[in-house]
Amino acid sequence: MKKFNKQYIILVVAFGLYLFLTLSSEEQTNWNAHFKSDSKDPYGTKALMELLKDPDMKMAIEPSRKTVYELYGQNMESRKLLIVGGRLKLDKESINAIYNQAELGNTIVLAAENFDQSLKDTLGFKVDYSFSNIEIKEFTKSKELNIEIDTISIELNDHAGLFPAFEINNTFYDYDTLNAKTIATCEDGSAIFIKKEIGLGAIYLLSTPKILGNISLLSGDNHFFINEILKELPEGDYIRTEYYTLGRLGHSSTFRVLLERDGLREATQLLLLIILIYLIFEVKREQRAIPTFVPPKNETMQFVDTLGQLYFSQGDNRNILIKRKRYLLDHIKSKYQINLNKENIEEELNLLSFRSGIEEEKIKKLFISLDREIKHSMTEGGFIKVNELIDDFYSKEI
């Protein structure tokens, strides 16, 4: 089993410590303008949804995560539509569906800071954008400085709402006043809430959706002003689709749930970073131990010696010399490419002398003595002498 290195232990401990500190720390406020209907964040719209449930409003809201085109393709002609978001980008089919439903007498409410150009061209209006880099969360961090925030008053039906000036950035202009009614304006007369009459119905446009957020609606007496805005809308059943801010329902996953929650999001990111670091340093192929290569032993001489011992024990010197001669000729043929198995070998002996580095006379003496002992083996001395000549050849050859 592979030894568990201490660096892995350090990584695990660091991850656990980070997770503990993150989960035990104070929950951070989400200041993003997401307009989620069930969120209590500053720019969530849970307070708005609760206000719409008031029996006096006589409005029923059903949440949805489908496109406008999908909704109006499911026989909801009697249902009014509400969309609240930062940027509203509708496809051509959805814009046509909205327009057709308005002509048939339906009501559509669109609240957004940025309307798609196609929608503006279709409904005939323009938006004056004055962007601001100031965010209200910067003031909440500096309460001890006692900073006063500039506000803008918006009036409707003898009720006024006070909102941060840097959040009332967008106003309507250049729209057909014959077919459009201005409902709410800023102090300078700039329209932020208008009603565009189309056929038997109408499309309501709000250029400052942040006033519908929790932080604005619950600030001071702003809820009275928002209540007046809602009273301008026809009573009845509404569908609020959040497709254009949250996407289609069903896209959520376990991983997405982890990323949506503070603490778990940072812990998941750290875990992925640790895995990436591990892969970078460990994914390279580990080299296996290379065994020591032992070249095959040349056991020819050992075999000859064993064979010689066999014949020597039998006292058959002639057979021993025949075998030795045969192995000697095979050795010369394989190493020097010289064949001595013929009658006239004068030229071959000269070539063998040149290639082996042994004097030609010594080679001739070896083969003459070897052939004589094979044919007329007389004494042990002659047998030993021939073996010494053969061994001498092996030891002195190049």
pLDDT value for 16? 72
For residue 149, give its domain range. 29-261
Are both 202 and 71 inside the same structural domain?
yes
Distance CA 275, CA 282 (A): 10
Asked whether residue 225 is assigned to any structural domain, the reply reads: yes
70 and 190 co-located in one domain = yes
Residue 27 confidence (pLDDT) above 90: no
- 241 is a domain residue: yes
* Residues 148 and 69 grouped into a single domain: yes
- Pick the more confident residue, 21 or 367: 367
The two tokens of residue 151 are 């506000």
233 alpha-carbon distance from chain centroid: 46
User: Per-residue pLDDT tens for 367-377?
Assistant: 888 888 888 77
Kindly report the average pLDDT of the chain as a whole number.
81
Cβ atoms 64, 221 nearer than 8 A: no
The pLDDT assigned to 25 comes to 58
215 and 310 inside one domain: no
Residue-level pLDDT at 167: 81
Q: Do 315 and 189 lie in a common domain?
A: no
* CB-CB contact of 282 with 274 (8 Å): no
Q: What pLDDT digit, counting tens, does each position of 48-89 carry?
A: 999 888 888 888 899 999 888 888 876 656 689 999 998 999
Model confidence pLDDT, tens digit, residues 380-390? 788 888 888 88
Q: Which of 261, 291, 314 is the C-terminal boundary of a domain?
A: 261
Domain boundary among 236, 261, 286: 261
Tell me how far apart the terminal alpha carbons of the chain are, to the nearest angstrom: 53
User: With 90 as the cut, is the pLDDT of residue 204 above it?
Assistant: yes
Q: Is residue 303 pLDDT above 60, yes or no?
A: yes
Q: How far is CA 155 from the centre of its chain?
A: 50
Q: For residue 20, is it within any domain?
A: no
324 and 231 in a common domain = no
Helix (H, G, I), strand (E, B) or coil at 111: strand
Greater confidence (79 vs 134) lies with 79
What gap in Å lies between CA 193 and CA 180, rounded to an integer?
Answer: 10
Instruction: Report the CATH number that the domain containing residue 129 is assigned in CATH.
Output: 3.40.50
The number of folded domains in the chain is: 2
Q: What is the pLDDT of residue 315?
A: 65
Same domain, 186 and 106: yes
pTM score, whole prediction: 0.59
Do residues 75 and 206 share a domain?
Answer: yes
Element (H, E) at 63: strand 59-64
Question: Is 217 found in the same domain as 310?
Answer: no
- One domain, residues 69 and 154: yes
SS3 297: coil
On whether both 57 and 203 belong to a single domain, the answer is yes
Q: End of a domain among 240, 261, 282?
A: 261
Whether 1 maps to a domain, the answer reads: no
In this structure, the dihedral spanned by the alpha carbons of residues 240, 244, 250 and 255, taken in order and rounded to 10 degrees, is -130
* Domain annotation covers residue 63: yes
**Inside any domain, residue 292:** no
CA 137 to centroid of chain Cα atoms = 32
Q: Are residues 182 and 42 in the same domain?
A: yes
309/207: higher pLDDT:
207
Q: Longest C-alpha distance within the chain, in Å?
A: 147
Asked if residue 119 is part of any domain, the answer here is: yes
Task: Classify the C-alpha dihedral 373-375-376-380 as positive or negative.
Answer: positive
Q: Is residue 380 part of a domain?
A: yes
Which helix (H) or strand (E) segment holds residue 80: the answer is: strand 80-88
